[in-house]
């Protein structure tokens, strides 16, 4: 008998567990009739490659829908500057990106003035990864400290915030990299639009709100040591650490949710999303 061991995905990201479950079920079904391990590996590889193709197509659709929607909302005649957080590009997806895919689409459409990216402490996914992608693609971009975001908005240098999502509850509450909630509050205060860009696989209709989303905590070393925990200790020995990897942004702070199926907008005056209805209509 052939056995396969699958690692569990991190708890917050629903699409990672969804992909892992699909592959695990496929391998289990194939193993029931397969004569050797090689044929099972081949089925696994073909399925993974198909996921790759589908993910790139979905990301490009997200980028297209998002760019078109932002231009309508902000005015297609003006140059658009946006702020993003963490990494949602080709290094985080299969090759194009979600929130960064929208930025790529705005840039290719000739309407992006500048992309601002946060450093995304404490592990610096923004300065290490997003900044690299923006420079690589020759997209006009500026890196800022996480704590400079509100000042950037107050100075009028950015018109919208666009972030990714690890899990979206049925009401639109969204879990994303820690610091996203801060940005949504600042955006609300400055009258700025705040967008979430994610595939429908990031939507978890089994959770009525963000209160049910499990938030993982990362190693204290990320805060105690430099270089996101990889360098020398900089904090005082003996200090306690709280290092959540994600936070939850309430739906009422989100302008719209951009997916590969289209853009989910608010369905009533109370500012809630009818995500279930959107998905059913999009099928």
Catalytic residue among 54, 55, 146, 166: 166
**Rounded to an integer, what distance in angstroms lies between the CA atom of residue 258 and that of residue 67?**
10
Tell me which residue of 43, 38, 102 sits closest to 263, measured CA to CA.
102
Strand locations in the chain (E): 80-84, 112-118, 141-144, 160-163, 167-169, 174-177, 193-197, 203-204, 246-249, 256-259, 262-264
Which of 250, 124, 259 has the alpha carbon at shortest distance from 184?
250
Looking only at the bridges linking them, the beta strands covering 160-163 and 262-264 are unpaired
Calpha distance 232→139 (Å, rounded): 33
- 166 an active-site residue? yes
Neighbours of 240 (CB within 10 A): 5
**Which residues are registered as beta bridge partners of 174?**
168, 249
Active site residue ranges: 166
């Amino acid at each position: 008998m052939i056995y396969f061991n699958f690692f569990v995905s991190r708890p917050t990201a629903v699409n990672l567990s969804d992909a892992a479950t699909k592959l695990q079920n496929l391998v289990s079904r194939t193993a029931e009739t397969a004569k050797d391990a090689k044929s099972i590996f081949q089925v696994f590889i073909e399925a993974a490659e198909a996921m790759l193709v589908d993910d790139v197509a979905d990301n490009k659709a997200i980028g297209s829908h998002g760019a078109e929607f932002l231009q309508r909302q902000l005015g297609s005649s003006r140059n658009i500057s946006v702020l993003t957080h963490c990494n949602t590009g080709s290094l985080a997806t299969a090759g194009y990106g979600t929130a960064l895919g929208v930025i790529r689409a705005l840039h290719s459409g000739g309407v992006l003035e500048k992309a601002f990216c946060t450093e995304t402490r404490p592990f610096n996914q923004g300065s290490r990864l997003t900044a690299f992608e923006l420079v690589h693609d020759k997209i006009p971009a500026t890196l800022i400290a996480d704590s400079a975001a509100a000042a950037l908005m107050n100075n009028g240098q950015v018109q919208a915030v666009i972030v990714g999502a690890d899990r979206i509850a049925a009401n639109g509450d969204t879990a994303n990299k820690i610091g996203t909630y801060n940005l949504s509050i600042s955006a609300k205060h400055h009258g700025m639009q705040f967008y979430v860009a994610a595939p429908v696989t990031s939507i978890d209709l089994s959770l009525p709100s963000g209160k049910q989303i499990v938030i993982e905590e990362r190693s204290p070393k990320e805060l105690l040591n430099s270089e996101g925990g990889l360098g020398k200790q900089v904090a005082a020995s003996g200090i306690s650490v709280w290092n959540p990897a994600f936070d939850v942004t309430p739906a009422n702070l989100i302008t719209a949710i951009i997916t590969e199926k289209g853009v989910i907008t608010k369905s009533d005056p109370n500012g809630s999303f009818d995500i279930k209805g959107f998905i059913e209509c999009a099928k």
